Amino acid sequence: MRGDLEWGSVAGLVSAAGTRFAEREAMVDGNVRMSFADLAGAVRQAAGAAMAAGVAKGDRVSIWAPNVNEWAVAALGAVSAGAVLVPINTRFKGAEAGYVLAKSGARLLFTVDGFLGNDYVAMLAGEDLPALERIVVLRGSAPAGTGSWADFLASGDSADPRVVDARMADLGPDDLSDITFTSGTTGRPKGAMITHGQTLRVFEQWCANVGLAEGDRYLVVNPFFHTFGYKAGLIASLMRGATVIPHAAFDVPRVLATVEAEHVSVLPGPPTLYQSLLDHPRPRPLRPLVAPARRHGRRGRAGGADPAHARGADVPHDRHRLRSHRVLGHGDRLPARRRSRDHRADIGQGDRRHGGTGRRRRRRRGRKRHSR
């Protein structure tokens, strides 16, 4: 069944996952381990806290934080309360984040203190943010004028459960769920407005394409502020009953240690991520992580960035095997000399370097005929 028809909204997805996969592990973040029932309960509490803070349906709520379990609870809680989530790139400077906050009209901001040495609250000093009413610090010290995550969550206890349930049930496929801003490389960041239905329909199909399954253990290195981490990671795992293991900043030794300790079975990323893992010296071989590419199957394909599966596969960990697995990241291209026929078939005609797209080739042939 289509995702938008099955769950209706992200809130419906969270509730359904909490019931369907109840005791299965949903999140592992350091010493924090949450079942799907625990996660659904925490999200519902966060939704109540957002409503107690005055967040109404359609209000913009922003989050400027790395991949941590609090990100998931805060973001899903806000969306379940009817808010429109506005994630912010953790590499943004104060002025860049301020632009996104001002442009979206965010009323509430979730952030952290100390990630990569940044004081995000201080970085916003001097920014003109008339709509921003409240800042909640998910991790780290909460400076004057902000609130702590613990206090914010506790405020959800005062929310009427019936009102919270009604708000969540009122959400539908056509309601906005988030505004995802571009990186602003060549100009001001631009926000793409995305509905609940679009999210659910697209990423249910994504799960089917890549073969994500119940019981998978998914190391999410791709940032939650990006669709790759939030939707192809967190949302997809809720759909399939996979365990999310958030990773705040890519660090090869820590990634390798986590793969071993948590028996990671899914690790999507661009080719450079895998190359970094392969090039890192280690005292003993890594537990088999990459299954061979399936030439005729669709499992393992991720719309340009494929997860590495190790579901029962006894595959030697070597360069040849890893390169044979199709792992193209968003915007990444293999050098022409390394491309095989399978790679060209996977990435599509439009990505070929020799000859350009089919449309351009047809235009060139037409011009040649007219010039004769």
142-146, 218-222, 237-241, 325-329: the lowest-pLDDT one: 325-329
Please determine, for residue 357, whether its predicted confidence score (pLDDT) is greater than 60. no
- Can you tell me which residue has the tokens 């999210």? 199
Question: Do residues 121 and 132 touch, judged by C-beta distance below 8 A?
Answer: no
Q: Please list, in sequence order, all residues whose beta carbon lies within 8 angstroms of the beta carbon of residue 179, skipping any fewer than 6 positions away.
A: 60, 84, 85, 86, 104, 191, 192, 193, 194
pLDDT of residue 313: 33
Angle between helices 69-80 and 10-20 (to 10 degrees): 120
- For 35, the enclosing helix (H) or strand (E) is strand 32-35
pLDDT tens digits along 278-287: 888 876 655 5
Please determine, for residue 13, whether its predicted confidence score (pLDDT) is greater than 50. yes
State how far the Cα of 213 lies from the Cα of 46, in Å rounded to an integer: 27
pLDDT of residue 329: 37
Was domain 3-203 assigned CATH 3.40.50.980? Answer: yes
Q: 323: pLDDT confidence band, cut at 50, 70 and 90?
A: very low
Candidates 82, 75, 37; CA nearest to 57 is 82
Question: Do residues 220 and 246 touch, judged by C-beta distance below 8 A?
Answer: yes
Write down the mean pLDDT value for the chain. Answer: 82
| Maximum pairwise Cα distance, the chain | 80
DSSP letters of 145-190? T-EEHHHHHHHGGGS-HHHHHHHHHT--TTSEEEEEEP--SSSS--
CATH 3.40.50.980 domain range(s) in the chain: 3-203
pLDDT of residue 372: 58
Alpha-helix runs per DSSP H in the chain: 3-7, 10-20, 36-52, 69-80, 94-104, 120-123, 149-155, 161-169, 196-210, 227-229, 236-240, 252-262, 271-279, 319-324, 341-347, 358-371
Q: Please list, in sequence order, all residues whose beta carbon lies within 8 angstroms of the beta carbon of residue 315, skipping any fewer than 6 positions away.
A: 288, 290, 291, 292, 321
The pair of structure tokens assigned to 305 is 């960035």
pLDDT tens digits along 207-234: 999 999 999 999 999 999 999 999 999 9
Question: Do residues 277 and 301 touch, judged by C-beta distance below 8 A?
Answer: no
Share of the chain above pLDDT 90, in %: 69
pLDDT of residue 358: 57
Half-sphere exposure of 369 (CA within 13 A, CB side): 6
State how far the Cα of 82 lies from the Cα of 163, in Å rounded to an integer: 12
Please determine, for residue 293, whether its predicted confidence score (pLDDT) is greater than 60. no
pLDDT tens digits along 24-76: 999 999 999 999 999 999 999 999 999 999 999 999 999 999 999 999 999 99
Task: Name the residue with higher pLDDT: 191 or 343.
Answer: 191
Residue 134 burial class via C-beta count within 10 angstroms: exposed 0-12, middle 13-18, buried 19 and up: middle
